[in-house]
Amino acid sequence: MKFSKLTYFSATILVAVSCTKTEFDPYEAPDSGSADFSNYISIGSSFTQGFQDGGLHNEFQQQENSYPAIIAAQMGVSFKQPLVTGAGSGYMHLAFLNEKIEVIKAYDCKKNDNHQLAIPYDPSFLTWTNQTTAYNNLAIGGLNVRNVISFNTTDAITNYILFGGSTPSGQLAWNCVAGEPISPYGRFLNFGSISNPVDYIEHVKSSKATFFTCWLGVHDVMGWANAGGDDVSGSSILTPVASFRTKYDALLDTLKLTASGGVCATVHDITEAPFFNTVTLEVLGKDIWIKEGADTNIIRKAVKEDLLLLSSSSLIKEGKGLTIQDPLPHQQVLDKDEVLIVKNYINAINAEIRASAQARAYAVLDMYQFMKTLNSGNEFNFDGINFTTEFIKGGFYSVDGIHPNSRGYAMIANEYMEVINASYGANLKPVAVSNYRGITFP
């Protein structure tokens, strides 16, 4: 997709002229206060695993600089992650073409029109597994709270197929590679077999964590929203709130067996991310026709309360949505009613996260409010660098418009450490955000 308003940015332009810097006290050895950091683990989905640019990659230590790894470094403790090599799962990137900066999508096996510069997965990713290692970062891209524990055979088999199983269909399997699970990002954990599946919660239990951070719940809503409010598969339905609470409770009860301290993060309002706010009627300057909802035949003009997904840009360029006869598919639009569903759902599960954590005397990071402040549209400054949440140019989000880049993850790590210090009397020092990479420009 092309962005005509984008211009080439050099590194010097990206660095703001402000000289504001984070103030650091003279060095002190990390003090855990009342917490025990000796065996710190992180639980979460793609945001915790270190995703950015629509994939898991590590050429410039992107995955290595996941926010829990940053926290662990400030704790002064060992922290093992299942690191990918190079391009990892493949990812989106920027290229300077035709005197414009263009977003080059990751290679998609289901399409025959991939850009010649599309980056495919690294061959080593197909053998990216070492299930004998006890990892500290237990995050899995795409992990929902409903996948944490199974209460019946159907759920157990479903979770196995998602993260550990081998699918015979190349079209269903990850990247059309027959034998791969639907999501390969948990391959570093042993999920057993289809006849004897192992739940994710068993790996949490066997970790014997003394301290944890948990940011789960994002994918319980993001899959549905990213599909335009369409239940396209079992992985994109909204987890029922009651089931969410039951399984979240089970997770924290398991952690409580060994972890005296921990921080649970709430879910941010994903509808405020660039993925939902870059392709707007104002920017397009024209009417866009949309198909409303998954189960209706209503075709109407989009209004400003409808959110056109970032992925709709290429379709609009091809003429989709410009006439009533050829509207944008509903999967490319989160219509105004669906936006309200998402917002209400996030508020509901956040109430359950807070209640569950507080009932077990664990701390809560209000990620919802932190990200809402960032997404306010105002410019904010960290370590002499001015940030906004504008797509590409803002400096916080990665190229996918959903996940932060490494600088964004450093900010998130600092938020966690602030809560840890306040809740447990620790003295973890914030990191300098400017020491981490932003988006890689051509």
For the cut 70, the answer to whether the pLDDT of residue 296 exceeds it is yes
User: Does 155 reside within a domain?
Assistant: no
CB-neighbour burial class of residue 111 (10 A; exposed 0-12, middle 13-18, buried 19+) = exposed
For the cut 80, the answer to whether the pLDDT of residue 150 exceeds it is yes
User: Does 80 reside within a domain?
Assistant: yes
Pairing type for strands 289-291 and 333-334 reads: unpaired
CATH number at residue 142: 3.40.50.1110
C-alpha atoms less than 13 angstroms from C-alpha of 164 in its C-beta half-sphere:
20
CA dist 323 and 288 (Å) reads: 7
Local confidence band at 377 (pLDDT 50, 70, 90 cut-offs): confident
Contact yes or no for 372/269 (Cβ under 8 A): yes
Contact yes or no for 271/339 (Cβ under 8 A): yes
CA dist 393 and 388 (Å) reads: 8
Local confidence band at 375 (pLDDT 50, 70, 90 cut-offs): confident
* CA distances in angstroms from 172 to 51, 166, 184, 363, listed in the order given: 22, 10, 12, 39
What pLDDT does residue 247 have?
99
Rounded to 5 degrees, φ, ψ at 371 are: -70, -30
For the cut 80, the answer to whether the pLDDT of residue 275 exceeds it is yes
Residues near 146 by beta carbon (within 8 Å), at least 6 away in sequence: 155, 220, 239, 243, 244, 247
Orientation angle between helical segments 241-256 and 336-359, nearest 10 degrees: 30
- Tens digits of residue pLDDT in 300-330: 999 999 999 999 999 999 999 999 999 999 9
Length of the chain: 442
Can you read off the two tokens belonging to residue 305?
């309360």
Residue 328 is part of which domain span?
Answer: 11-149+199-435
Looking at the DSSP bridge assignments, the partners of residue 44 are: 215
Local confidence band at 30 (pLDDT 50, 70, 90 cut-offs): confident
Looking at the DSSP bridge assignments, the partners of residue 213 are: 42, 263
Local confidence band at 9 (pLDDT 50, 70, 90 cut-offs): very low
CA dist 201 and 145 (Å) reads: 10
Average pLDDT, the chain: 90
Rounded to 5 degrees, φ, ψ at 130 are: -150, 80
User: Does 162 reside within a domain?
Assistant: no
CB-neighbour burial class of residue 11 (10 A; exposed 0-12, middle 13-18, buried 19+) = exposed
CA dist 354 and 440 (Å) reads: 36
CA dist 327 and 320 (Å) reads: 6
Looking at the DSSP bridge assignments, the partners of residue 52 are: 55
What pLDDT does residue 168 have?
54
CB-neighbour burial class of residue 17 (10 A; exposed 0-12, middle 13-18, buried 19+) = exposed
What pLDDT does residue 385 have?
84
pLDDT (average), residues 340-369:
99
What pLDDT does residue 4 have?
38
Local confidence band at 2 (pLDDT 50, 70, 90 cut-offs): very low
What pLDDT does residue 10 have?
33
Local confidence band at 182 (pLDDT 50, 70, 90 cut-offs): confident
Can you read off the two tokens belonging to residue 94?
């920027």
Q: How far from the centroid of its chain's Cα atoms is residue 240's Cα?
A: 20
What pLDDT does residue 381 have?
84
- Tens digits of residue pLDDT in 206-260: 999 999 999 999 999 999 999 999 876 556 789 999 999 999 999 999 999 999 9
User: Does 35 reside within a domain?
Assistant: yes
Strongest mean pLDDT among 47-56, 106-115, 233-242: 47-56
Q: Give the predicted TM-score (pTM) of the model.
A: 0.91
Looking at the DSSP bridge assignments, the partners of residue 262 are: 212
- Tens digits of residue pLDDT in 326-352: 999 999 999 999 999 999 999 999 999
User: Does 327 reside within a domain?
Assistant: yes
User: Does 61 reside within a domain?
Assistant: yes
pLDDT (average), residues 58-71:
98
Local confidence band at 23 (pLDDT 50, 70, 90 cut-offs): low
CA dist 150 and 214 (Å) reads: 19
Rg of the chain, C-alpha, whole Å? 21
User: Does 186 reside within a domain?
Assistant: no
Q: What total number of domains does the chain contain?
A: 1
CA dist 244 and 354 (Å) reads: 13
For the cut 80, the answer to whether the pLDDT of residue 49 exceeds it is yes
User: Does 440 reside within a domain?
Assistant: no
What pLDDT does residue 272 have?
97
What pLDDT does residue 177 have?
72
